[in-house]
Amino acid sequence: MPRIRANNLFDSFKYAVEGIGYTIKTQRNMRLHLTVGIIVFIVSLYLQISRIELAILTMVVTMVIVAEMFNTAIESTIDLYSRQRHPLAKIAKDVAAAAVLISAISSALVGLLILGPPLWELLKNWLDFK
């Protein structure tokens, strides 16, 4: 089962897909980030935002997903080293989790800046219609 490195490009992609699958299967927050990302993408298409705005939203959503994957890798590595509680292990895990939190907050702010105005207009039009 242990492997040192991929033998070829196909194996590299296979291992990467396995990593994505592992993170989705085992990390509740990863599933949440993916769900929010899909909702943001659907809303963006519905609102017909510009391609540059869609690209920006794609980048910030991807940033959160990548941060969550790094967090999972860091936590797994620490758990592999030792299951005992240690102040330095706690610091490493807390800092990795904080990186995810900061990227998620930043992503939400960017999302509000881009999607907020058209959503507000849509809501105003809907309320005027009623």
DSSP notation for 2-63: --SS-SSHHHHHHHHHHHHHHHHHH-HHHHHHHHHHHHHHHHHHHHT--HHHHHHHHHHHHH
Give residue-wise pLDDT tens across range 60-81: 999 999 999 999 999 999 999 8
Contacts of residue 82, defined as CB under 8 A and 6 or more positions apart, other chains included, come to 89
To the query of whether residue 68 is one of the catalytic residues in this protein, the response is yes
- Give ∠ CA 51-13-8 in degrees, rounded to 5: 135
All domains of the chain in start order, with CATH: 9-129 (1.10.287.3610)
Give residue-wise pLDDT tens across range 3-47: 567 788 989 999 999 999 999 999 999 999 999 999 999 999 999
Catalytic site residue from 18, 53, 68, 75:
68
Is residue 47 within 8 Å of residue 115, measured between CB atoms? yes
Interatomic CA distance for residues 70 and 98, integer angstroms: 12
pTM summary value: 0.87
CA 108 to chain centre: 11
